[in-house]
Structure 1
Amino acid sequence: MPDTAIALRHVEHVMGTVFSFDVRDRPTPAIRDALAAAVHHLHRVDAVFSTYRADSHISRLDRGEIRLKDCPPEVHEVLSLCAHATYASDGWFSIVPRGTLDPSGLVKGWATEAASRILHDAGARHTCVNGGGDVQLRGQAGPGTAWRVGVAHPLRPGELVTVVTAGHDLAVATSGTAERGAHIVDPHSGRPADALASLTLVGPGLTLTDTYATAAFARGEGAQAWLETLDGYEALAVLPDGREWRTPGFSRYGT
């Protein structure tokens, strides 16, 4: 059972952001080793996929210095997941922004979910892994206590737009302009997406939840109709004028 009194916590600066681990299981040697392995995994992901490192595999692949068969197997896995996301989103998710190969829109969520899985495989059943504000939750925060994830309001600094409550495995991802400005590009026009101020998506695993949140934000006006066709996902969006919309099932999770 989860126990907040014995929680194991760790913060790691990697991949250009902050990752935090909150483990509510008794910290056995296996779980402590798994936490170290999860942190190591994040640094390996950075070395392989960072578009800011000239020596990363993804940068070298983009420049044509190596071929896909020369890359570690996780590169093929990530690119296959990206291809699936591109197809599922009707092209609103793209890994070719401004002519360069950049799977970053999927990698962070994938790395966070993988780190969570490493802990789970070692016996940690009640965990929260936060990758730059997007979280993969497992189990409960405490005995009979659900996890609660506050989502910042994109237009009102210091306020929350909702609190997502989950007493079971769940992923929560938010795309928007509040933290990093207009960084999500409409892949069809090449211009920054600006029809939404933020979009929060909940789903089973962070890899696709984060990716679909990015695709939905880029899609803008058509996002709600598209998201309602996806099984297992619910969303809350804030428009630039402060209006909101929610998919029908979001009330199960958010206030």
Structure 2
Amino acid sequence: MTRPRQTSPIETAPTPAPARRAWVEQIMGMPISIHLRGADVDGPAAQEAVAGAFRILREMDSIFSTYREDSDLMRLRREEVDVAQCSPLVEEALRIGQEAEVLTRGAFTTLLPTGDGDLAFDPTGLVKGWAVDRASVRLSGLEGISFCINAGGDLLIGAHPDMPTDGPRAITWRVGVEDPLDRQRIASTLTLTRGAVATSGTAARGAHLYDPATGKLVGRPGSVTVTGPTLLWADIWATALFVGSELTGEAFATSATDYLSTAL
């Protein structure tokens, strides 16, 4: 007579949390932090990639800052140079701004009010997201590593192409979306392995978003959060949807099918 074999569930050790490391620098007048999670986050490759990402962010600030008298943008506005004498990125910013104005039905513009009461070329509304997207290229080649760049509350999350987007080996990031009417409260939480999150509104900085249709700054309470593949366009659309009309919302629905928006 054979004795029945006794079985018991096999207990597996929980997957250890990935190592993490963070760096922060003050650039563009705001804290910008880079967070790495995964393998060898303290290794020389990671250190070099992070340093390279910060160099790109500082370069963008040196070109487009409205607070630095020697930036290409301010020299251009003073007519000391023309576009051809500036960094090629200035011409690219002009092109992106024109494209954004068309796509958003005029709700986004790079002609913004100055302290003198007139309008001047100011791509501030697109430079931050664009700079983060450019900087992220230096991080996406790190094998076994997922990253998050946080630029004043707007985020870009990415990873090496070989990193899974789901399953037990995926590294996920939880992003809290602030309630614009109560900044101590998180209104919702997003879970991402890749993607950008941008929020525009008046909770943090008051009436600072310009509505080209009225020629005035928008002061109403609330916010719009946009998620999608790039921080450049997530930020552009968040601004446009906050200040724009129903036409802008319709344009978003038809032109930005890879992006999602939430109004609070």
TM bin (shorter chain): 0.7 to 0.9
Whole-angstrom distance in 1 between the partners of 2:184 and 2:148? 23
Q: Per residue, is there more helix in 1 or in 2?
A: 1
Question: Which 5+ residue runs of structure 2 have no aligned equivalent?
Answer: 1-14, 114-118, 160-164
Whole-angstrom distance in 2 between the partners of 1:94 and 1:226? 15
- Which deviates the most, 122-131 or 173-182? 122-131
1:165 matched to 2:191 = yes
- Tell whether the 8 Å contact from 1:200 to 1:213 is kept in structure 2 after alignment: yes
Whole-angstrom distance in 2 between the partners of 1:58 and 1:149? 33
Instruction: Quote the RMSD (CA, aligned, Å).
Output: 2.1
Structure 1 position 128, deviation (Å): 0.5
Whole-angstrom distance in 2 between the partners of 1:75 and 1:121? 27
1:179 matched to 2:199 = no
Out of 87, 90, 100, which is 1:85 matched to?
100
Q: Per residue, is there more strand in 1 or in 2?
A: 2
Whole-angstrom distance in 2 between the partners of 1:125 and 1:209? 23
Out of 182, 187, 197, which is 1:156 matched to?
182
1:202 matched to 2:254 = no
**Number of equivalent positions:** 236
- Tell whether the 8 Å contact from 1:173 to 1:213 is kept in structure 2 after alignment: yes
Amino acid at match of 2:98: A
Amino acid at match of 1:192: L
Q: Could you say what secondary structure the match of 2:138 adopts?
A: helix
Match of 1:138 in 2: 158
**Which is higher, the Rg of structure 1 or of structure 2?**
2
1:226 matched to 2:251 = yes
Using the size of structure 1 for normalisation, the TM-score is 0.85
Out of 117, 121, 125, which is 1:105 matched to?
125
- Tell whether the 8 Å contact from 2:203 to 2:221 is kept in structure 1 after alignment: no
Q: Could you say what secondary structure the match of 1:80 adopts?
A: helix
Whole-angstrom distance in 1 between the partners of 2:171 and 2:87? 40
Structure 1 position 222, deviation (Å): 4.8
1:22 matched to 2:72 = no
Whole-angstrom distance in 2 between the partners of 1:218 and 1:108? 19
Whole-angstrom distance in 1 between the partners of 2:178 and 2:237? 19
Whole-angstrom distance in 2 between the partners of 1:124 and 1:57? 38
Match of 1:38 in 2: 53
Whole-angstrom distance in 1 between the partners of 2:78 and 2:94? 16
Question: Which 5+ residue runs of structure 1 have no aligned equivalent?
Answer: 239-255
Match of 2:66 in 1: 51
Whole-angstrom distance in 1 between the partners of 2:198 and 2:85? 32
Structure 1 position 143, deviation (Å): 3.5
Match of 2:241 in 1: 216
Structure 1 position 55, deviation (Å): 1.1
Structure 1 position 122, deviation (Å): 4.5
- Identical positions, percent: 36
Q: Could you say what secondary structure the match of 1:159 adopts?
A: strand
C-alpha offsets along residues 134-186 of structure 1, whole Å, 9 cap, x if unaligned?
0011147983452110011000131011111113x211000011111110010
Amino acid at match of 2:74: S
Whole-angstrom distance in 2 between the partners of 1:226 and 1:163? 26
- Tell whether the 8 Å contact from 1:31 to 1:123 is kept in structure 2 after alignment: no
Whole-angstrom distance in 1 between the partners of 2:170 and 2:26? 32
- Tell whether the 8 Å contact from 1:22 to 1:129 is kept in structure 2 after alignment: yes
- Which deviates the most, 221-230 or 83-92? 221-230
Amino acid at match of 1:51: T
Using the size of structure 2 for normalisation, the TM-score is 0.83
- Tell whether the 8 Å contact from 2:129 to 2:231 is kept in structure 1 after alignment: yes
- Tell whether the 8 Å contact from 2:126 to 2:236 is kept in structure 1 after alignment: yes
Structure 1 position 62, deviation (Å): 1.2
- Tell whether the 8 Å contact from 1:23 to 1:124 is kept in structure 2 after alignment: no
Match of 2:21 in 1: 8
Whole-angstrom distance in 2 between the partners of 1:88 and 1:42? 26
Amino acid at match of 2:198: A
